[in-house]
Amino acid sequence: MITHNPFTELSAFIPAMVMQIYVIAMAVLVVGGTAIDTLHKKSAKWFFENAKEAKQSATRTVTTGEAVSIAGQTLASEVLTSSEFCNPRRRASHLLIMYGFLTFIVTSAIMVFVYPTGPTPTYLPVLWHLGALMLVIGGYWFWFFIRVDVAAEGTKWYHLVRADLFILSLLSTATFALIWSYLQWTGVPIWETLFFALFVLASTVLFGGVLWSKFAHMFFKPAAAYQKRITKADGSMENLPDFADRSNPADRDRHSMELLKDAPMDMGLGIKRERPSHY
């Protein structure tokens, strides 16, 4: 099953050009949705004003070389390894979702544009199935066990809010894609058509719903992570006090540290002592 290109069989019913127009339309929806989102929320305006304001409270200037190095660090850390997540399970699930999704959409585009009707190099459909599987594993793990609403707030997994549009449309797209491919292989035409229709519906909601979902975070978060690193490098620190170092007597005398004055130096955060489970 995982070595066959599901779009090849589909091309007997739907011309390759129609598939290609659909993929282009989805890409246009993502670009358009992100642009409208940015204008509507004025997030770009806020971002640049905030960066300008931060610069005014900077204690030193960041050179171009440093800025390039910070961009590289952001790419290697926050973007490629999801380092913003403190919870290792959430980080692992995000990595599975992110790399699964990227593998899935890149191989989909290659198969639809380059090999829609003919023989396909085996590695492409293998990666397509593997990407969808990674997305499904990371996504359901997140949905049922890791999400803060379920893991910490005691909310039931089936309690839905609008913010869930992104993860649910993402999960439905990958789930229906895998079931559709499996049905092609086992050959039950009616079910195959039904799950293909569900796959298209889910992916249209995913790519068409950018304006209402968290989809665009994959473009905004890298910029925000870069800006956060810059504020640390130029000393502006988003107008926050420096990180407290209790081995420094001046820090120990801060008003906010009063309660910790006589505490042992290796005392950890009380909040991390026990996982929340009292509901």
Q: Which residues of the shown chain bind ligand HEM in the complex (CB under 6 A)? A: 78-79, 84, 94, 97-98, 101-102, 163-164, 166-167, 170, 214, 217-218, 221-222, 225
**59/152 Cα distance (integer angstroms):** 39
Residue that is written with structure tokens 């191989």 in the block = 107
Q: In this structure, how many other beta carbons lie within 10 angstroms of the beta carbon of residue 267?
A: 9
Burial label for 156, CB within 10 Å (0-12, 13-18, 19+), is exposed
Listed residue (143, 22, 161) closest to 89, CA to CA: 143
CB of 164 to ligand HEM, least distance (A): 6
Closer of 149 and 251 to ligand HEM (Cβ): 149
Listed residue (94, 84, 91, 115) closest to 11, CA to CA: 115
**113/117 Cα distance (integer angstroms):** 10
Q: Which two tokens stand for residue 138?
A: 């990371």
CB of 234 to ligand HEM, least distance (A): 20
CB of 218 to ligand HEM, least distance (A): 4
Closer of 9 and 84 to ligand HEM (Cβ): 84
**162-184: b or e for each residue (b if 16 or more CB lie within 10 Å)?**
eebbbbbbbbbbbbbbbbbbbbb
CB of 220 to ligand HEM, least distance (A): 9
**183/1 Cα distance (integer angstroms):** 9
Closer of 45 and 217 to ligand HEM (Cβ): 217
CB of 40 to ligand HEM, least distance (A): 18
Closer of 16 and 218 to ligand HEM (Cβ): 218
Closer of 76 and 263 to ligand HEM (Cβ): 76
CA dihedral 178, 183, 184, 188 (to 10 degrees): -160
CB of 198 to ligand HEM, least distance (A): 20
Closer of 112 and 225 to ligand HEM (Cβ): 225
